[in-house]
Amino acid sequence: MLDRTIAPPVKPLARVALPAVDVVSLDSGARLHVLANDAQPVVRLQVVFRAGKVAEPRPGLATLTARMLLEGTTTRTARQIADEVAFYGASLECDAGFDRSTLTLYCLSRHLPTLLPLVVDVLRNPAFPAAELDQLKTRTIQNVRVERRKTSFLATERFNEIIFGAETPYGRPFDADAYQALTAAEAQAFHQATYSFGNAEIFLCGDVAAERELVAAAFGHPSATGAGASASPATVALAQPVVLATDRVPVAGSLQSSIRMGRRWPAPTHPDTHRLKLLVNVFGGYFGSRLMRNIREDKGLTYGIYASVAPREFGTSLVIGTDVKGESADFAVSEIQLELRRLQEELIPAEELETVKNYILGKFANELSTVFEQCDKYKNLIFLGLPADYYTQFVQQTEAVDAETLRELAQHYFAPEDLHIVIAGPVGE
């Protein structure tokens, strides 16, 4: 009989590798990356352009352009696009990130041939109709106004300003007036400059054996919208953060304070990156972390607290975040700093270290359970310039790292005085 009082044995993670990826260079200049898996009759098609915030000549233009792609083409209205996608039980979205913009289609594999012309039409022939443009700007501005009533949004916005600089794509706050002033002509010009197929990485994954040639043909011809050269700069000059006292964002009438702490962080290509991932998880990366045990379980100050690393192409950051009562904010910050110093001064106990190793390796294995998740890991290699053995090194270094090495890393990267602090909350707190 199974004894449920005894935990099952933990087995070491076998060496993992991403599935083989077929990469085809198309005549248009695009690259098609194919991850085939026929376990389920579904497919995901993603077309990724260097058309994120780092490429925009005016703030907000990347987001506006991406969202307008589904608002009508020269042959279809927004309603027709939405109805056709819904009729086939599919999903079609286009969003702009900091570094790139991505159009994503999910559908049953048998419907891909029917929906592919729609995808190409959306990417090549957006109409940027005036009525839809005005409505989109109005909705976006209203949504940001609502978000700016939240301490969490204000703390994150101010934190990014401090870490990356208010004039950079990563730190620039949303400017409603500048966004309202954007025109259809500017969106059209940005689209022509950045959405050429020659500037695309195309990822096709799932049950795609019968459709890969069809996709290659659809995106293989040079786009009429541009010459194919990327409009994104070769690099982004980020501001050097200035070490400040606690930066407070007053929110009148709020009972809650949101805390954001952190600093610029080594890029994923840095030799310490895998060991630092383990250290961040010990500190605040999972439910049993030091921060959760102290701030939530022991002190009862919050429902949740986290520490995470946000990698981008031109700048990575460590972020610690939580929401607490307004009067508890400074005490919570002092307890976070206490946990930082503990990692600098004390060795992580062997049992705790083993628990965290098992957690992050098990989580990593679980994140490879579907072909879509496998493709996401593969995309990181492509867009962050990571070596082919990156994930193998992650597993090996995670298994091998010891407590003394982690303490040395904490002494170098976790100095409390090097972390910027933002508290958004009640006035006078």
pLDDT confidence of residue 3: 74
Q: Which of 308, 367, 302, 373 is nearest to 331 (CA)?
A: 302
Let me know if domain 22-219 sits in CATH 1.20.120.420. no
Average pLDDT over residues 20-27: 92
Task: Say what the pTM is.
Answer: 0.91
Tell me the per-residue pLDDT of 309-330, one tens digit each, with 9 for 90 and over: 999 999 999 999 999 999 999 9
pLDDT confidence of residue 121: 97
Tell me the per-residue pLDDT of 29-61, one tens digit each, with 9 for 90 and over: 999 999 999 989 999 999 999 999 999 999 999
Average pLDDT over residues 268-296: 97
Q: Which of 219, 247, 193, 29 is nearest to 119 (CA)?
A: 219
Average pLDDT over residues 367-394: 94
Average pLDDT over residues 220-224: 65
**What is the distance of C-alpha 416 from the center of its chain?**
26
User: Using 50, 70 and 90 to split pLDDT, how confident is the model at 232?
Assistant: very low
Task: Report the C-alpha gap between 194 and 191 in whole angstroms.
Answer: 5
The answer to whether 224 and 154 have CB atoms below 8 angstroms apart is: no
Same fold, 22-219 and 247-425: yes
* Domain 247-425, architecture per CATH: 2-Layer Sandwich (3.30)
H helices of 304-370, in order, are 329-345, 350-366
The secondary structure of residue 319, as a DSSP letter, is: E
The answer to whether 94 and 104 have CB atoms below 8 angstroms apart is: yes
The answer to whether 352 and 289 have CB atoms below 8 angstroms apart is: no
- Residue 392 has a CB neighbour count (10 Å cut-off) of 14
pLDDT confidence of residue 243: 57
Q: Which of 168, 104, 131 is nearest to 317 (CA)?
A: 168
Q: Which of 416, 415, 409 is nearest to 276 (CA)?
A: 409
pLDDT confidence of residue 12: 65
Stretch among 6-15, 84-93, 393-402 having the lowest mean pLDDT: 6-15
The secondary structure of residue 15, as a DSSP letter, is: P
The secondary structure of residue 69, as a DSSP letter, is: G
User: Using 50, 70 and 90 to split pLDDT, how confident is the model at 211?
Assistant: confident
pLDDT confidence of residue 231: 45
Percent of the chain with pLDDT over 70: 92
Task: Report the C-alpha gap between 330 and 337 in whole angstroms.
Answer: 11
* Sequence spans of domains, the chain: 22-219, 247-425
Q: In the chain, count of helices (H) and strands (E)?
A: 15, 11
Contacts with 149 (C-beta within 8 Å, 6 or more apart), sequence order: none
Specify the higher pLDDT residue, 427 or 185: 185
Backbone angles phi, psi at 410, to 5 degrees: -65, -40
Task: Report the C-alpha gap between 98 and 106 in whole angstroms.
Answer: 23
pLDDT confidence of residue 229: 44
Tell me the per-residue pLDDT of 104-136, one tens digit each, with 9 for 90 and over: 999 999 999 999 999 999 999 999 999 999 999
Strands 316-325 and 31-36: unpaired
Could you tell me the two tokens for 96? 């702009």
Q: Which of 419, 228, 258, 285 is nearest to 340 (CA)?
A: 419
Quote the strand ranges of 190-315, DSSP E.
200-206, 247-250, 256-265, 305-310
Classify residue 255 by burial, with Cβ atoms within 10 Å: 0-12, 13-18, 19+.
Answer: exposed
SS3 content of the chain, % helix, strand, coil (to 5): 45, 20, 35
Could you tell me the two tokens for 194? 């950045």
The answer to whether 66 and 16 have CB atoms below 8 angstroms apart is: no
Distances from the Cα of 188 to the Cαs of 50, 128, 161, 166, 231, in angstroms? 15, 7, 29, 26, 14
The answer to whether 186 and 193 have CB atoms below 8 angstroms apart is: no
Q: Which of 83, 59, 54 is nearest to 70 (CA)?
A: 83
User: Using 50, 70 and 90 to split pLDDT, how confident is the model at 222?
Assistant: low
Task: Report the C-alpha gap between 194 and 231 in whole angstroms.
Answer: 6
